[in-house]
């Protein structure tokens, strides 16, 4: 009797939970009502072209970690010469570990040799060195009356799918082998060799490489390729994993762009879209339909498919049939990938470049909505865009090619949103974003770091953690005091930390700093900004001075000493457009005029380098050049560290009126 009562109570609780969840989940318009525009952005915020963050509100609690830093001179990737084209990353979470793969080219896009590498991480912050998942592939002579490729030339790989976790828990990694005669040819026009897979084992090693699908219509098959067909494998579980992958018409639709076969394998043909086949194997274009599929399930079970170039469609039967492919008018895309998914708070997000010029691959934005159809909030996820260190054709500037974890490929502990992306087609990054995604906070800051074991616990901070410009939690060995460390030995990038606080016109902000290891000519820059990124207060802390930036320099700089703690208080008055500074209890200036005029302030930034949110004039006016990579040269010594500068931050406190 007791067991029966207990069972009834459990059922009642489950029903209550289900009803509450259903009540909180907003259902989208029906498939018929939404098929003409499967996703729509209705919010008021839009980026402007003059700034890398578009002057959009910043999302709260976004941590960016540099997974791989391209280095030709001193590589961490296999070989004596580092590959400096790194792009098209994919992510999975399997057996309590992150798996990330990305495409590598020696110099530039669509130019051999290329390969696919994989890295792993326990926590998403610290990553292993790359290992080769799919090596360089040697081609036979190819002469198709359009392109001539000599025998012995290495292949050009292309990536539109990365991982697959089978129903029985086997992890497959995938890639696509193709070729080009020049970097201006397309390897994804349907005449490449075919798609390969291999198994990833729990110990980090790989199984044999097999072709899972040949481009047979282009003449490739079991007899003229370098790896066997998957059906020759003696591993029954591997065969079952491959078969389950091939049967999944939703997942395999990611392959269409590189395959383009008309053999009935694909349930929709994007080349039939009006103006959708704007694509050529002879000349690389950013146009065309059916490219770089991303998909998610709405709460009503309808699948939303998002492709490059604003294209989308809906499916009510998990990809077996589709509505007509149409363009989403409110997504300002630029030829880069778009990512969409359901987040752990039962809402939906689209990550892409909402480009003001529709040509540039910035800013990186999160568009948020409740039902998977209507999105009404837009936030910037990064205000940092690195310089391109190594010249290469088709290397676009900016954060781009966003991917999350495909449905079925795992879900890390916690509610955070994980995304991988490429910076400038050169470095590989991962971001972790707080969920729910918001652009403001209600509570004042009282941050002393004493209870913080790792920067992962700084959930309301925005952090940019570079391989050579890390951010860490430090502790004094004598006093046991904890603090935030910003270290910088990168010649072209800088550690960057941002904390959003409640918006006010009258604000008091205090913090402590220590120039632990100064380097002549380098500095830490601290700014107070409003939500649009206007910068009324700019402090510069170098080896000897604390100085203040104005439209006209008239504030007296203050002498400071290395490896000493200083207490700073800023009394900010946006009504009067000025502020006062108190250093170690002493008022330095009665009133310092704002450098930029603002009505309120909302965030503080700490950076080991100067402000760099301005977009280059040519990119701003005309967008990225038609042939990117032809208008710049490699930066000197991009693979060499500079002397390390180290700064400490502690006891950040805000209060407002």
Count the Cβ atoms, other than its own, within 10 Å of residue 600.
17
Tell me phi and psi for residue 6, to 5 degrees. -65, -45
User: Half-sphere exposure (CA, 13 Å, Cβ side) for 645?
Assistant: 25
- Is it the case that residue 275 has pLDDT exceeding 50? yes
CA dihedral for 645, 541, 60, 491, sign (positive or negative) = negative
Q: What was the pLDDT predicted at 551?
A: 59
491: buried, middle or exposed (CB in 10 Å: 19+, 13-18, 0-12)? middle
pLDDT at 64: 99
Distance CA 476, CA 225 (A): 60
**Residue 3: pLDDT above 60?**
no
The pLDDT assigned to 550 comes to 66
**Alpha carbon distance, N-terminus to C-terminus of the chain:** 61
Question: Mean pLDDT throughout 84-101?
Answer: 99
- Does the CA dihedral 266-272-274-276 come out positive or negative? positive
Cβ neighbourhood burial of 167 (10 Å; 0-12, 13-18, 19+): exposed
Evaluate if residue 407 carries a pLDDT over 80: yes
- % helix, strand, coil for the chain, step of 5: 10, 35, 55
How far is Cα of residue 506 from the mean position of the Cα atoms in its chain?
35
| CA-based R_g, the chain, Å | 26
What is the distance, to the nearest Å, from the Cα of residue 587 to the centroid of all Cα atoms in its chain?
43
The angle formed by the CA atoms of residues 97, 101 and 105, to the nearest 5 degrees, is 155
CA distance 349 to 579: 39
What pLDDT was estimated at residue 626? 66
**Polymer length in residues for the chain:** 657
Mean pLDDT of the chain: 93
Question: What confidence tens digit (pLDDT) does each residue in 327-383 have?
Answer: 999 999 888 999 999 999 999 999 999 999 988 999 999 999 999 999 999 999 999
3-state secondary structure of 495: coil
- Asked if residue 351 lies in contact with residue 339, where contact means CB atoms within 8 angstroms, the answer is yes
What is the per-residue pLDDT across 417-463, written as a single tens digit (0 to 9) for each? 999 999 999 999 999 999 999 999 999 999 999 999 999 999 999 99
What would the 3-class secondary structure string for 348-406 be? EEEEEECCCCCCCECCEEEEEECCCCEEEEEEEEECCCCCCCCCCCCCCCEEEEEECEC
What are 605-638's pLDDT values in tens digits? Answer: 999 999 999 998 878 776 676 678 888 899 999 9
Sign of CA dihedral 531, 536, 537, 542: positive
Q: Mind listing the domains of the chain with CATH numbers?
A: 32-433 (2.120.10.10), 456-656 (2.60.120.870)
What pLDDT is stored for residue 540 in this prediction?
A: 95
DSSP 50: T
Tokens 């939703």 sit at which residue? 250
Kind plus residue range of the DSSP H or E element containing 12: helix 2-24
pLDDT recorded at residue 147: 82
Rounded Cα distance, 69 and 53, in Å:
22
Identify the pLDDT of residue 207: 99
Q: How far apart are CA 4 and CA 536, in angstroms?
A: 67
- Please choose, from the candidates 295, 312, 215, 212, the residue with its C-alpha nearest in 3D space to the C-alpha of residue 250: 295
pLDDT band at 6 (very low <50, low <70, confident <90, very high): very low
pLDDT in tens, 156-211: 999 999 999 999 999 999 999 999 999 988 999 999 999 999 999 999 999 999 99
Closest by CA position to 469, among listed 333, 259, 211, 644: 644
How far is residue 623's CA from residue 182's CA, in Å, rounded to a whole number?
A: 24
Q: What is the pLDDT of residue 553?
A: 53
CA distances from 282 to 244, 260, 274, 279, 499 (A): 35, 16, 21, 9, 48
Q: Give residue 17's pLDDT band: very low, low, confident or very high (50, 70, 90).
A: very low
CA–CA dist 39, 637 (Å, integer): 45
Asked whether 391 and 385 are in contact (CB, 8 A), the reply is no
Report strand pairing: 114-121 vs 131-134.
antiparallel
377 HSE (CA, 13 A, CB side) = 20
Work out the percent of the chain whose per-residue pLDDT is above 90.
85
Ramachandran area for residue 281 (φ above 0: left; ψ -120 to 50: alpha; else beta): alpha
């Amino acid at each position: 009797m007791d067991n029966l009562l207990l069972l009834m109570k459990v059922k009642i609780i489950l029903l209550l939970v289900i009803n509450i969840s259903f009540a909180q989940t907003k259902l989208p318009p029906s498939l018929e009502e939404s098929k003409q525009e499967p996703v729509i952005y209705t919010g008021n915020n839009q980026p402007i072209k003059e700034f890398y963050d578009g002057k959009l509100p910043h999302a709260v609690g976004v941590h960016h970690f540099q997974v791989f830093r391209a280095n030709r001179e001193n590589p961490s990737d296999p070989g004596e010469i580092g590959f400096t084209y790194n792009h098209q990353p994919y992510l999975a979470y399997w057996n309590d570990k992150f798996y990330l793969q990305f495409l590598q080219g020696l110099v530039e896009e669509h130019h051999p040799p290329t390969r696919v590498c994989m890295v792993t991480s326990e926590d998403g912050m610290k990553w292993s060195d790359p290992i080769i998942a799919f090596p360089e592939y040697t081609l036979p002579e190819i002469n198709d009356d359009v392109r001539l490729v000599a025998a012995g030339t290495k292949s050009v790989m292309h990536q539109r799918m990365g991982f697959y976790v089978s129903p029985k828990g086997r992890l497959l990694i995938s890639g696509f082998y193709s070729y080009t005669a020049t970097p201006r040819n397309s390897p994804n026009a349907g005449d490449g060799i075919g798609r390969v897979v291999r198994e990833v084992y729990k110990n980090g090693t790989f199984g044999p490489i097999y072709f899972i699908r040949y481009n047979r219509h282009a003449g490739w098959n079991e007899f003229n390729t370098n790896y066997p067909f998957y059906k020759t494998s003696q591993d029954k579980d591997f065969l079952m994993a491959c078969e389950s992958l091939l049967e999944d018409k939703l997942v395999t639709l990611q392959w269409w762009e590189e395959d383009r076969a008309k053999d009935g394998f694909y349930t929709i043909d994007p080349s039939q879209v009006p103006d959708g086949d704007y694509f050529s194997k002879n000349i690389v274009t950013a146009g065309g339909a059916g490219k770089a599929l991303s998909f998610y399930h709405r709460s009503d079970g309808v699948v939303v498919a998002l492709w490059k170039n604003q294209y989308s469609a809906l499916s009510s039967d998990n990809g077996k049939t589709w509505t007509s492919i149409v363009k989403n008018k409110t997504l300002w895309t630029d030829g880069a990938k778009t990512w969409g998914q359901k987040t752990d708070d039962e809402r939906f997000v689209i990550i892409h470049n909402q480009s003001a010029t529709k040509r540039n691959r910035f800013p990186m934005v999160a568009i948020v909505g409740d039902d998977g159809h209507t999105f009404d909030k837009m936030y910037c996820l990064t205000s940092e865009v690195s310089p391109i260190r190594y010249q290469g054709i088709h290397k676009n500037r900016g954060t781009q090619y966003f991917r999350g974890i495909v449905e079925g490929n795992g879900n890390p502990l916690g509610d955070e949103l994980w995304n991988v992306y490429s910076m400038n087609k050169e470095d590989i990054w991962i971001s972790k974003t707080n969920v729910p995604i918001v652009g403001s906070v209600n509570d004042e800051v009282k941050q002393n770091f004493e209870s913080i074991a790792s920067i992962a616990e700084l959930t309301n901070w925005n952090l940019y953690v570079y391989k050579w410009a890390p951010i860490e939690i430090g502790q004094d060995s004598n006093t046991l005091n904890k603090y935030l460390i910003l270290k910088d030995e990168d010649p072209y990038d800088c550690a960057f930390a941002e904390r959003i606080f409640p918006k006010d016109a009258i604000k008091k902000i205090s913090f402590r700093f220590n120039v632990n290891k100064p380097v002549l000519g380098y500095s830490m820059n601290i700014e107070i900004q409003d939500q649009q990124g206007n910068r009324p207060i700019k402090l510069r802390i170098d080896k000897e001075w604390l100085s203040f930036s104005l439209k006209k320099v008239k504030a007296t700089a203050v002498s400071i000493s290395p490896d000493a703690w200083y207490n700073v208080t800023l009394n900010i008055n946006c009504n009067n457009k000025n502020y006062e500074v108190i250093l170690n209890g002493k008022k330095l200036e009665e009133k310092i005029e704002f450098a930029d005029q603002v009505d309120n302030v909302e965030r503080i930034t700490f950076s080991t380098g100067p402000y760099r949110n301005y977009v280059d004039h040519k990119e701003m006016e005309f967008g990225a050049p038609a042939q990117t990579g032809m208008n710049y040269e490699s930066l000197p010594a991009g693979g060499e560290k500079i002397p390390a500068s180290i700064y400490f931050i502690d006891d950040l406190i805000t209060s407002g009126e």
